[in-house]
Structure 1
Amino acid sequence: MRIAVVGMDGTGKTTVLRRIHEESDIAVIHTMRAHENPASPFAELSRALSDASAAADALGQVHLKVAMLSLHLSLYGRAERLAMRQGRSVLADRHPLIDPLVYLPLFAQVDAPAPSDADVDAWWGMQKPGAAQAVRGWLRTRSGTEDPRSLGAELLPWGTKSPPELLGLLSRQFDVTLPDGVLLFDLPVHEALRRTQGRPRDSELHETLSFLRATRRQYDAVLDWLSEAHPATAVRRIDCSDRSVDQVTELVRDATATWSHREVRRKARRDTS
C-alpha cells in the first residue's frame, strides 16, 4: 500500500510520519528530505540539494528553486521501489506526482526573469564546495547540463498544462505512478503560517500568506480532480486544526489500515476471478 501525505507547510506531516515510523514497520519516505532517513543511499546528496534549495530561497530565484525541487523529487522512485520489494506499506511525506500538480502551476504564475550569470555564480558560491560538486553531478545526470537554469526553464512551462497533461509529464520525468491513497493534512492558512514562521530556519519562497492561500485552494482543486479522474486513488482530508500529534497520528493509522484491508480484499477478488 502506497499512501502520500500532502498539504501546506506547517500542517505537521513530518512530525506525524516520524512518530509512525518509530512505532511501526511502515516505511516512511521523506520525498524532499531523503536525509531524514539515515539509511537512505541518497542522504548526502539530499543534504546538498536542501542547501542548494535554501540558497535559491535566499536569492528569491524561482527557476533555481524549481530545478532543485525536481532534483529532490527524482530521488523518490528508487526509495519507493525498494520499500515495496521488502513487502512494506509506504507513507510518503509529499509525492513527486501530487505536489507538483499543486506547486508548478503556482510557480508558473510568478513573474520572475531567468537568473543572470551573476545570480547563478552567487548561488553556487553560497554552497559548500563538496555539496556543490554533488549538486553539479546530479544536475548533469538528470538534465545533461550543469546549468540549473536549463532545468528550471524546461519545467516551469509545465505549470501551464492541464492536470492530465502535467500528470503524464511528471510520471515520465520521475518514473513513478499515482499512489494508492492520498491524505491531505489541512489547516487554516494563518495557523500554517504561524507554525512555519516559528521554525528555526529561514523561510522558503512559498511561505507567504498569499502563496499559502493559493496553495490550499490548489490542493483542493487537484484532489477533487484526482477523485473524479482517478478513483482508484483514494483521497481523504484530515483537519489538523486543534488536534494533537497523537490524534492526527491515529487518524493516519486508521486510514492506512482501512485502505490496506480494502486493497487486500481487492487483490483476493482478482486472484479468484
Structure 2
Amino acid sequence: MRVALVGIDGVGKTTVLHRIREQEDIAVVHAVRGHEDPDSPFADLSVALADASSAADDLGRVQLKVAVLYLQLCLFGPAERQAVDRSRTLLADRHPLVDPLVYLPMFARVERDTEPGSDVEAWWHKQQPGAAQAVSDWLLTCSGTTDPWELGTDVLRWGTMPPHEMLSRLGRSFGVTLPDGVILLDLPVAQALRRTRERARGSELHETRAFLSATHQRYGEVLDWMSEARPDLAVRRVDCADRSVDEVTERVRGALESIAHASRNERVDTGH
C-alpha cells in the first residue's frame, strides 16, 4: 500500500513520519528532501539539491526554485520502487503527483521577470563546486538541458494546464502513479507559519502568510477534485490544531488503517 502525507509547510509531516518510522514496519520516502531517508541511495545528490534550493531562495527567483523542485521530484520514482521492496506499506512525505497540482498553479501566477540576468550564474556560484557539478549532471539527465532557467520556465507552464492535463504530464515526467491514498495534515496557517520561522535552516521563498494561506486553500481544492476525478483514491484529513505529536501520529495511524481497509474493499469489488 502506498500513501502520501501532505500539507502546508510547518504542519509537522516530517516529525510525524520520523515517529511512525521508529515504531512501525513502514518504509518512508521523502519526495523533496530524499536525504532525510537513511536508506536513500541518492542522499548526496539530494543534499546538493537542497543547497541549490536554498540558493534559489536567496536569489528570490521562482524559475530557479521550480527547476530545483522538478529535479528533487525526479528522485522519487527510483526511491519509491526501492522502498516498496522493503515494506508492505510505503508512506511518502509529499508526492510528485499531488503537491505540484497545489504549488505549480500558484507559482505560475507569481509576478516575475522573464529574463534571468546574472542570477543563473550567481545561483551556480552559491553552490559548492562538487555539489554544483552533481546538480548540473542531474539537470542534464532529467531535462536534456544544462539551463535551469529554461527548465523552470517550462515547468511553470504546466501550472497553467487544466488539472487532468497537468496530472498526466507529471506522471509521464516522473514515471510514477497516484498512491492508494492521501492523508492531509490540516493546521491553521498561523501555527504553521510560527513553526516555519523556528526552523534552523530559515524560511523558504514561499513561506509567507499570504502564500501559506493560499496553499492551505489550494490543498482542499486539489483533494476535492481528486476525490471526484479518481474515486479509487482514498483521501483522509487529519486535524492537527493544538494537538501533540503523539495525538497526530495516532490519527495518522487511524487514517492508514482506514485507507488499507478501503483498498482491500476495492480489490474485492474489482475481483483483484
TM-score category, normalised to shorter length: over 0.9
Residue aligned with 1:160, SS = coil
Residue aligned with 2:118, SS = helix
Cα distance in 1 for residues equivalent to 2:78 and 2:110: 31
> Match of 2:187?
187
Q: Is the 8 A contact 1:28 1:90 kept in 2?
A: yes
Cα distance in 2 for residues equivalent to 1:211 and 1:33: 21
Q: Is the 8 A contact 2:27 2:83 kept in 1?
A: yes
> Match of 1:92?
92
Q: Is the 8 A contact 1:63 1:115 kept in 2?
A: no
* TM superposition score normalised by structure 2: 0.96
How far apart are 1:115 and its partner, in Å? 4.8
Cα distance in 1 for residues equivalent to 2:160 and 2:75: 24
Cα distance in 2 for residues equivalent to 1:112 and 1:59: 12
> Match of 1:237?
237
> Match of 2:211?
211
How far apart are 1:92 and its partner, in Å? 0.4
Q: Is the 8 A contact 2:27 2:86 kept in 1?
A: no
Deviation digits for residues 122-178 of structure 1 (CA, Å, limit 9, x no counterpart):
111110111101000000001112110111011101111111111011111101111
CA RMSD of aligned residues (A): 1.3
Cα distance in 2 for residues equivalent to 1:213 and 1:265: 36
How far apart are 1:239 and its partner, in Å? 0.9
Cα distance in 2 for residues equivalent to 1:266 and 1:160: 33
Matches within 5 A, 1:191-202: 191-202=191-202
Q: Is the 8 A contact 1:7 1:184 kept in 2?
A: yes
1:56 counterpart = 2:49: no
Residue aligned with 2:159, SS = helix
1:7 counterpart = 2:14: no
Cα distance in 1 for residues equivalent to 2:268 and 2:218: 36
* TM superposition score normalised by structure 1: 0.96
> Match of 1:174?
174
In terms of mean alpha carbon deviation, does 55-64 or 183-192 score higher?
183-192
How far apart are 1:86 and its partner, in Å? 3.7
Cα distance in 2 for residues equivalent to 1:259 and 1:187: 21
Cα distance in 2 for residues equivalent to 1:270 and 1:213: 39
Q: Is the 8 A contact 2:196 2:202 kept in 1?
A: no
Name the amino acid aligned to 2:175: D
Name the amino acid aligned to 1:45: L
Q: Is the 8 A contact 2:27 2:87 kept in 1?
A: no
> Match of 1:263?
263
Deviation digits for residues 19-53 of structure 1 (CA, Å, limit 9, x no counterpart):
10111110010111110112211100000000000
- 4+ aligned runs moved over 4 Å, structure 1: 268-272
Q: Is the 8 A contact 1:5 1:184 kept in 2?
A: yes
Structure 1: segments with no counterpart, 5+ residues: none
- Number of residue pairs aligned between Structure 1 and Structure 2: 272
> Match of 1:109?
109
